[in-house]
Amino acid sequence: MGMNGVRRVFAFVLAAALTLGALPLPKAAAATDAVTVTKSVSPTEILVQEEVEVTLTVQGTPPTNVVRPNDVILVIDRSGSMASEGRMTSAKNAAKGFVDLMDFSKHRVGIVDYSTTAKGMPLTTDGEQAKQYIDTLVANGNTATGDAIQLAMELLAEHRPEAQPVIVLMTDGEANVGSPTPYDYAKLKAAEAKAAGIVFYTIALLSKDDDPETSPPNLLLKEMATTAQHHHFVLGAQDLSTIYSKIVHEIGIASAYDVTLTETVSGDFEIVPDSYQHNIPQPQVSGNTLTWHFLELKDEALTFTYRIRHKDGGATGMLPTSSGSSLTYKDYAGAPRTGTVPVVRVKVSYPAPVIESVEPDNGPVSGGNAVVIRGRNFRPGATVTFGNYTAANPVVTPTEITVTAPAVTKAGAVTLQVTNDDQQKAAATYTYWVEPELQSLTPAEGPLTGGTAVRIKGRHFANGAQVRFGDVPAAQVTYIDAYNLDAITPPGTAAGPVSVTVENPDGHSTTLADGFTYLPLDATQPEITAITPPSGSMYGGETVVIEGRNFADGATVTFGGTPAAKVTVESSDRIVVTTPAASAGGTVEVVVTNPNGQYATGSYLYMVPAPTITNVSPTSGSVYGGTIVYVDGTHFQSGAVIYFGDQQATILNYYGPTRMRVRTPESNVGGGVPVRLVNPDGQEAVWSGLFEYILPDPPSISAIEPAEGSVDGGEAVTIKGANFAAGSRVFFGAAEATVVNITAAQITVTTPPAQGEGAVDVRVVDRWGQEGVLPGGYTYIVPPPAPAPQVTSLSPDNGELAGGELIYVNGAYFDPAVRIFFGSNEAVVLNYYGPDRLRVKAPAAANPGAVDVRAENPDGQVGVLPAGYTYNAPPEDPDPTVTNVTPSEGPMEGGTLVYVEGTEFASEAIVMFGSNQAQVLNYYGSTRMRVRVPASDVSGPVDVTVINPSGKQAVLPDGFTYLAPPPPPDPELIGLSADSGLVVGGEIVYVDGANLDSDVQIFFGNVQATVMNYYGPTRVRVRVPAAPAPGVVDVIAVNPKGGKSAVLPQAYTYLPVSVKITSLSPNEGEMAGGEIVYIYGEFFTERSEFYFGSTPVTVLNYYGPTYVRVRAPASTVPGPVDVTVVADPTDPNTTTFTLSGGYTYKAPPAALPPEVTNITYTKQATGYLTYVDGANFDSGVTAILNGVEYPTLNYYGPTRFRVRFTVPAGTYTLVVRNGDGQESAPVQVTFN
């Protein structure tokens, strides 16, 4: 549809809307809600102090048919960038289309156009006048967007009371005029317009390659618009008319007006700073409340988002995100309305606990040892369990828990679990262990060669326990139960007794001294010296000779535990056997056992046979692969790989050691290739025959289309024929063509360049080297030379010396890379429309007059249009005059908006106030300008000078007077939110007053506080500094810029800090000391010293002002002692505190006399090795047998020791005596 069609459609739609707007509405229409709000959060579940994004969607109902009168200012960018790509023409046409569609019985329209300065046409109902004004616009200069908005506001200041003022702003560039920055100045002016009740539409005219998400003009205009519904952008000027048409259709029709949405965030959350700034419009934020206000709402959804953060110390659970929200607006008739905003909730949880380490991570089954659990997210009240047992009185910090391990009934790994007060859990592993006990070995002696089967008795043996005889591990260990192990003795290093050690998998061990005796070798012990051959087939059946000594008749032989198939003892030093089969290859132990049980060992290697291939079926297949082949042979292993030539086949089935089924791979060659099988052990076999790869039919060429082309190559050619295969190559003579596509009957190629013209052979070569040739199948020809370019006319054919005019160059035979020259200066070619038309930008010229226009093609041929373009001489600039400056005075900091009046002002004139240049905001013509006065260092009158670009200037003496600024007001202090706090500082206090600067400094006495938040000239939030001593101080506010201050006398009291101990955990321990104790209290420092009685304590960890971790010192007497803390020994004013009887040393229990309950013994050559069981044995225990004292061999603890009695068989009286002299009751012992 053309532009006229678009205009007709929109005119019809708008006319229909405006006609319907004249009809009376039923009263029920006013009762429906015109605005609805929905709310959601993401995510819906968070941890404490994490963030949530809140989304508010404001939806208007389809608009009513009531059209509100509007006074509209079209603001049109005419800066220099609008001259490119036909933007200015498109903008003018689109704006005139907008005017054509307006209903001037209700609306008025005005124009503001701008570049470096802004000018405009007042509001009118005369559409033709508006369009004639638009036709005069010419693109040049900078982009003063802020000044254009200011002028639009001035024109709208006289809008009709019943009419809605509207600005529709279109620009293609980033603002580059205004201060403090052009961007901020434009935003400021847009904000002023919206605050004045003006609805603001924006249109960003972007280049086709621009990214709207990053384009500075688009981002600026999005922020300016009334809402996101009021902002548009186009990529390229051709769509401008559509956007203008859409806007003119919307004007005066809305779902609601003067909309205010207020959202107060719940006290458990805080608004994340700046998380709302992307919204259009941005909300006003005060404390925890966000307020959006916009002048009108269309029927499209508006979406606002912001983020909230859960506060430190806030509640947990299902929490509402807001504590109060409201919606107010006016309907189409102006009646005030309210709406509801839903409440949504988010689940807030504490983070789950995490265990990072457990020290130690093991301990005895009796428990009682301290365990430190380190990690994060531990909560007060957390509990700790070891398996099914709960630890008592854990000491909990956020990163560390100290507990005493509870006792358990059996050793092994258990789950250590921390459970927070919210039932979230973390787990680790803790291992309980028990010391094993070794009581006896049966038998307790055996040959030096080893191999003796021994039963080991004791307690607390674990599955996986290891046994050592001396330092040599047992040959074999079998776990029976916690009381019994079976072991095979290893060979000994010398005859005699050795210690026996049992070590559990957890590393705990026990040793029985002289627990086993190695007997010396005798003459009957067999020995293997050689096994010949030392290896053989794993399938057995091979004859092997075993040589050595002391082989007895009836000896047996095993290979890896399997009896030999045949054993012949030929002599005491030679045995001949037949090997049994093995289940796998590898080295096995060979054992020769004499009838008396004595044995000797050696080794034998079972070999896996190499594979063989006996047959391949079928023996041939296609080079494309895929043939199913059976491979037969011997000793194939699962996982074997088969190769056809050097290509690996796909294994389909492994049927066993004699057959496999495979799929052949593709082959790069035809003919016979070897077949090779490689087992996983690296042994391989090669078939004696060859597998035949059968080649396909060779390619053939039947036709080439087209059969001729340029010697430069690059022609698309189709080769027809048969048997074309993928991977084929094509040659034109000796040069290879580029293959584009291949089918079995057709190949498409791009021809290569040729050395010269003439016919060449065309060859198709498949990947196996077979080829098809079409002799002389393609002819290279030399194309005729291109004609010289011609220049026939230019439109327009004249322009300014500065260049930049967009010129259409007409002619013939223009190459796409043609160059255009105006005289000796080259023009920029903007568009190539074909061989007969170009669009260029005229270059600048030094002198006026006619110049030749020359077109030059890349082949060097030239076409000239003599005197084809004329550079016009510039008109002479007249002298300006300055007659008036209004207002004629203003502040020294500048910024006063002033009208400068006179004659002959140029559009690019500059204005000076004294020696400082002013910013020209608006150029109203040759007699008036509007400027912003620059700042001045001094007060008083200055000359006002206007300087035209020609250098001609005019001066108004003392035309403007700078007024000295009044002195800044003195700050005032009214009160504090808290009037006292501890001398250590840190309190958060609100300071209220008046005239407080944003960089105000607050002092408590002579110490400066930290200003945390500045809420404006009446309030700041500070952190109170520490004071050198308690007492009352003044609070002082200082404004640094003016040097003024205010004092609130005696306003804050610093309270003394007194150190204190509240409790100890644990609060009792052994007299030997070493107990880990946590001391809790207030105002501890890293320099604090602690005493138990008069004994100083070692501080192991300082956790902060409320608790420390210490090691209790030893005490010589039992009973309670005072616990004292000195807050800071380096401070002469330090405080101390004593907790009377804060820690109790427990008296040791009275020693009991030893008691004997059981006696067990083993008769040995050296006496009776005896275990004495009972109670209350100390480490100095001895045994007295019939009055003779025997030393203890092994002390196992208070319930057992071991002793050797060197007495003959008989009955004796045994008394046990402890190291403290106490003796047991005598018992009778009988040794057999």
Give the per-residue pLDDT at 14.
Answer: 31
Cα–Cα distance measured from residue 703 to residue 708, given in angstroms and rounded to the nearest whole number: 12
Percent of the chain past pLDDT 70, that is, above it, reads: 96
Whether residue 1212 contacts residue 1185, with contact meaning beta carbons closer than 8 Å, is answered with yes
Give the per-residue pLDDT at 312.
Answer: 82
Cα–Cα distance measured from residue 1159 to residue 406, given in angstroms and rounded to the nearest whole number: 33
Q: Give residues with Cβ within 8 angstroms of 577, minimum separation 6.
A: 543, 544, 546, 557, 564, 565, 566, 567, 568
Give the per-residue pLDDT at 108.
Answer: 94
Q: Does domain 881-956 have CATH number 2.60.40.10?
A: yes
pLDDT per residue as tens digits for the range 814-861: 999 999 999 999 999 999 989 999 999 999 999 999 999 999 999 999
CATH architecture of residue range(s) 357-433: Sandwich (2.60)
Stretch 1184-1204: mean pLDDT: 91
Give the per-residue pLDDT at 179.
Answer: 81
Give the per-residue pLDDT at 520.
Answer: 73
pLDDT per residue as tens digits for the range 376-415: 999 998 999 999 999 999 999 999 999 999 999 888 889 9
Pick the CATH number of 1060-1146 from 3.40.50.2300, 3.30.479.10, 3.40.630.10, 2.60.40.10: 2.60.40.10
Whether residue 602 contacts residue 564, with contact meaning beta carbons closer than 8 Å, is answered with no
Stretch 1009-1033: mean pLDDT: 91
Give the per-residue pLDDT at 186.
Answer: 87
**Is residue 232 over pLDDT 90?**
no
Give the per-residue pLDDT at 927.
Answer: 92
Give the homologous superfamily in CATH for domain 700-779: Immunoglobulins (2.60.40.10)
Q: How confident is the model at residue 66 (pLDDT cuts 50, 70, 90)?
A: confident
Helix (H, G, I), strand (E, B) or coil at 1081: strand
Give the per-residue pLDDT at 8.
Answer: 31
**Is residue 241 over pLDDT 80?**
no
Give how far Cα 733 sits from Cα of 661, 750, 757, Å.
Answer: 46, 14, 12
Give the per-residue pLDDT at 32.
Answer: 55
| Secondary structure, 3-state, 1033-1055 | EEEEEEECCCCEEEEEEEEEEEE
Stretch 983-988: mean pLDDT: 82
Pick the CATH number of 11-24+69-252 from 3.40.630.10, 3.30.930.10, 3.40.50.410, 1.10.3720.10: 3.40.50.410
What CATH number belongs to 1155-1231?
2.60.40.10
438-519 topology per CATH: Immunoglobulin-like (2.60.40)
How would you label 627-661 residue by residue, b for 16+ Cβ within 10 Å and e otherwise? bebebbbebbeeebebbbbeeebebeeeeebeebe
CATH architecture of residue range(s) 972-1055: Sandwich (2.60)
**Is residue 237 over pLDDT 80?**
no
Cα–Cα distance measured from residue 204 to residue 232, given in angstroms and rounded to the nearest whole number: 6
Q: Give residues with Cβ within 8 angstroms of 939, minimum separation 6.
A: 892, 961, 962, 963, 964
**Residue 303, strand partner residues:** 57
Give the per-residue pLDDT at 919.
Answer: 95
Give the per-residue pLDDT at 64.
Answer: 58
Percent of the chain past pLDDT 90, that is, above it, reads: 60
Higher local confidence (pLDDT), 279 or 877 = 279
Q: Of 454, 440, 433, 442, whose CA–CA distance to 504 is shortest?
A: 433
Give the per-residue pLDDT at 1119.
Answer: 94
265 CB burial (10 A radius; 0-12, 13-18, 19+)? buried
- The radius of gyration of the chain's CA atoms, rounded to the nearest angstrom, is 52
**Is residue 21 over pLDDT 50?**
no
Cα–Cα distance measured from residue 577 to residue 791, given in angstroms and rounded to the nearest whole number: 112
Higher local confidence (pLDDT), 220 or 499 = 499
527-607 topology per CATH: Immunoglobulin-like (2.60.40)
Fold agreement (11-24+69-252, 1155-1231): no
612-694 topology per CATH: Immunoglobulin-like (2.60.40)
Give the per-residue pLDDT at 523.
Answer: 60
What CATH number belongs to 790-872?
2.60.40.10
pLDDT per residue as tens digits for the range 678-731: 998 889 999 999 999 999 999 999 999 999 999 989 999 999 999 999 889 999
Give the per-residue pLDDT at 733.
Answer: 94
pLDDT per residue as tens digits for the range 574-608: 999 999 999 888 888 899 998 877 888 888 988 88
38-63+259-349 topology per CATH: Immunoglobulin-like (2.60.40)
Long-range contacts of 340-345 (CB under 8 A, 24+ apart): 340/37, 341/37, 341/39, 341/56, 341/261, 341/263, 342/37, 342/38, 342/39, 343/39, 344/39, 344/40, 344/41, 344/54, 344/320, 345/318, 345/319, 345/320, 345/321
**Is residue 226 over pLDDT 70?**
yes
Give the per-residue pLDDT at 22.
Answer: 30
Stretch 1203-1212: mean pLDDT: 92
Q: Of 118, 173, 165, whose CA–CA distance to 146 is shortest?
A: 118
Higher local confidence (pLDDT), 1104 or 407 = 407
| Secondary structure, 3-state, 307-368 | EEEECCCCCCEEEECEEEEEEEEECCCCCEEEECCCCCEEEEECCCCEEEEEECCEEECCCC
**Is residue 31 over pLDDT 50?**
no
**Is residue 914 over pLDDT 60?**
yes
Could you tell me the residue ranges of all domains in the chain?
11-24+69-252, 38-63+259-349, 357-433, 438-519, 527-607, 612-694, 700-779, 790-872, 881-956, 972-1055, 1060-1146, 1155-1231
Stretch 99-122: mean pLDDT: 90
**Is residue 9 over pLDDT 60?**
no
Q: How confident is the model at residue 1008 (pLDDT cuts 50, 70, 90)?
A: very high
pLDDT per residue as tens digits for the range 448-482: 878 888 999 998 898 999 999 999 999 899 999 98
